[in-house]
Amino acid sequence: MRIALDVSALSAPEGGVATYTRNLAHQLGSRTHDEILPMTHSALRGHARRGLPLNKTLWMQALLPLQLSRVAPDVCHFTNSVASWWTPCPSIVTIHDTTLWMFPRYHPRRRLLAMRPFIPPGARHASAIIAVSAATKRDVVRTLNVPESKVHVIYEAAAPHFRPLGREGAVEAVRHKYGLPESFILYVGTIEPRKNLTRLFQAFDLVRRQGCRSATLALVGNRGWSDASILASVERLGLNGAVRVLGHAPTEDVVALYNLADVVALPSLYEGFGLPLIEAMACGTPVVTSPNGSLAEIAGGAAEFVDPTQVESIAAGLKAVLSDGDKRAALHAAGLERAAQFSWEATAEQTRTLYASVAKVF
């Protein structure tokens, strides 16, 4: 089967959609009986397909359908919620969440204007829609008014390198590289309003004042929109030095940081899937998170859940895990068991089956 795969998300390689696209492309590419045709609006190192940097919307709506006509794939898969309004072959679109409609205040105006008008017609044209969780499927059906039968839940996963590591020299070297103490709390993700970091900082301050262990909170990830106002709350709370903004870290460092952390804090206000959640659990690290969006669905019973709108609840969740060795051990074991139920091999297999179904190629 000839599969045209939208890899334009890889032009910003650190995001969650890029992680999804990269892992899916890798697994699909390992199948020798299929031909993967990477399609993008910009030249990407490591891909055979090359092109000039173009406005992504212009490329997707005007130029990509012409490219597809020339290469004649059996199916085209759009990986980042937006799809062409017309394609010469059956198309599938993965929608990661519908927060552009549900929580527009969590997005910059430019993103709302660039994406929201184009998602509904692309979803209507698509032969099938992939939702990365059952929660996302419910939101897609309700928000975009598409038939439930058209939306298929196919989960993401943690890549195999997210796993428990011993405290060997390489792991300890990462601690020294970032100047982290023996005990710390870790957050992984973009610094943006939806991640609820201001309340996390307030909860962390409360935990410190209550004399709990882990007097450092390390933030790993890119700075997003409205990050300056979020980080300004660190200074207002007098947490300079206690909150460490590490920025983007290489994947191997992130794996080590998960393993080094006492607990991973992810009190997000909404997630369509929540890759850091499954990655942390795959490393055996206890997670404190919210039940919002897909997070309860993905974590099962393998996380400590808190009310993300209540600072006291977030603080109580952190304190409960940090102060109770038995709870940490139980979450370690439960997280490993739960994360093992997700794999990129299964993601690719289910996605490929959907390709064959819409393309009528078996």
pLDDT at 290 > cutoff 50: yes
Q: How many folded domains does the chain comprise?
A: 2
Judge contact between 146 and 140, C-beta under 8 A.
yes
Q: Is the dihedral of CA 71, 75, 77, 82 positive or negative?
A: positive
Q: Are residues 349 and 335 in the same domain?
A: no
Structure token pair of residue 354: 């959907």
CATH number reported for the structural domain that contains residue 307 in this entry: 3.40.50.2000
The pTM score is: 0.94
Q: Are residues 113 and 208 in the same domain?
A: no
Q: Residue 120 is which amino acid?
A: P
pLDDT at 196 > cutoff 60: yes
Q: Residue 13 is which amino acid?
A: P
State how far the Cα of 146 lies from the Cα of 149, in Å rounded to an integer: 9
243: nearest Cα among 217, 213, 211, 262:
217
Judge contact between 245 and 219, C-beta under 8 A.
yes
What is the chain's mean pLDDT, rounded? Answer: 93
Tell me phi and psi for residue 305, to 5 degrees: -95, 140
Q: Residue 265 is which amino acid?
A: A
Q: Are residues 50 and 150 in the same domain?
A: yes
State how far the Cα of 336 lies from the Cα of 74, in Å rounded to an integer: 38
Tell me the pLDDT tens digit for each residue of 86-135.
999 999 999 999 999 999 999 999 999 989 999 999 999 999 999 999 99
Residue 325 burial (C-beta neighbours within 10 Å; 0-12, 13-18, 19+): exposed
Range of 274's domain? 169-339
72: nearest Cα among 121, 28, 39:
39
Q: Is 357 helix (H, G, I), strand (E, B) or coil?
A: helix
pLDDT band of residue 334 (cuts 50, 70, 90) is: very high
- In order, the DSSP letters of 127-159 are SEEEESSHHHHHHHHHHH---GGGEEE------
Q: Are residues 37 and 74 in the same domain?
A: yes
Total Cβ atoms within 10 A of residue 342 = 17
Tell me phi and psi for residue 99, to 5 degrees: -70, -20
State how far the Cα of 294 lies from the Cα of 275, in Å rounded to an integer: 11
Q: Are residues 284 and 299 in the same domain?
A: yes
Q: Are residues 38 and 150 in the same domain?
A: yes
Tell whether 162 is covered by a domain. Answer: no
Tell whether 305 is covered by a domain. Answer: yes
What local confidence, expressed as pLDDT, does residue 267 receive? Answer: 98
pLDDT at 168 > cutoff 90: no
Tell whether 164 is covered by a domain. Answer: no
Q: Are residues 250 and 352 in the same domain?
A: no
Q: Are residues 313 and 347 in the same domain?
A: no
State how far the Cα of 205 lies from the Cα of 207, in Å rounded to an integer: 5
Per the DSSP assignment, residues forming a β-bridge with 252 are: none
Per the DSSP assignment, residues forming a β-bridge with 244 are: 218
